[in-house]
Amino acid sequence: MGRFRGGLRCIKYLLLGFNLLFWLAGSAVIGFGLWFRFGGTMKDFSSEDKSPEYFYMGLYVLVGAGALMMAVGFFGCCGAMRESQCVLGSFFTCLLVIFAAEVTTGVFAFIGKDVAIRHVQTMYEEAYNDYLRDRERGNGTLITFHSTFQCCGKESSEQVQPTCPKELLGPKNCIDEIEAIISVKLQLIGIVGIGIAGLTIFGMIFSMVLCCAIRTSRDMI
């Protein structure tokens, strides 16, 4: 009996440590998603009428999952400390939802990468053609693209030179730059999503083992 209680206590502390790590991971995921959405390379698109929603969709799921992770981490600590089967069962269910959300984000980031890249490239080509049709009016979207991706034009930059960043050294094809940058961003999102999904598996295992151990200990009593 003493060994069993010692094992139960060990599992409980492992779950507490997992929940602390899970809470910190949730904070990091929220910061990661918000920085990608409103900071870094993509921040200037948040004010545009046309924005790369395919890219943002994965970020919204990621931030939502991060917020849920923080809440669930606190929830799991309470369940482990109180040794409540009901709370641990609910904790397992929440982890299952987070697992599904993170896997969805990761799969979307990897599989939907080409669609997202083409979507942003199409937005650029539309802004590019609009500028060529009416140069006097100017084009804020085209300027935003050039500033965000630090590029200028497509095959040649001469036709759109007034909209290009002044600090840009040498020609850079925007179609190629969009593909390179969006590809890297989505790969990072996919890696984070799949990584968090893997972490939740350990939480589900710990919660079920502790729940079963608590039930066994009460049956023994």
Q: pLDDT per position in the chain (221 positions), as tens?
A: 556 566 667 877 888 888 888 888 888 888 877 877 676 555 555 545 555 565 666 677 778 878 888 888 887 888 777 777 788 888 888 888 888 888 887 888 788 788 888 888 888 898 888 888 877 665 677 888 888 888 888 877 788 888 888 888 777 899 999 999 888 888 887 888 888 888 888 888 888 888 877 777 665 55
∠ CA 183-189-195, nearest 5°, is 130
∠ CA 195-198-204, nearest 5°, is 145
Residues in the chain: 221
Torsion of CA 55, 60, 63, 64, to 10 degrees: -150
Contact 92, 197 (CB under 8 A): no
- Rounded distance between C-alpha atoms, residue 154 and residue 144, angstroms: 15
16-37 pLDDT, tens digit each: 888 888 888 888 888 877 877 6
- Rounded distance between C-alpha atoms, residue 37 and residue 70, angstroms: 20
| Amino acid making up residue 2 | G
Contact 174, 152 (CB under 8 A): yes
Q: Read off the pTM.
A: 0.70
Helix or strand holding residue 75 (H, E): helix 53-82
Q: Which two tokens stand for residue 67?
A: 């917020």
Tell me the backbone φ, ψ of residue 35, rounded to 5 degrees.
-65, -40
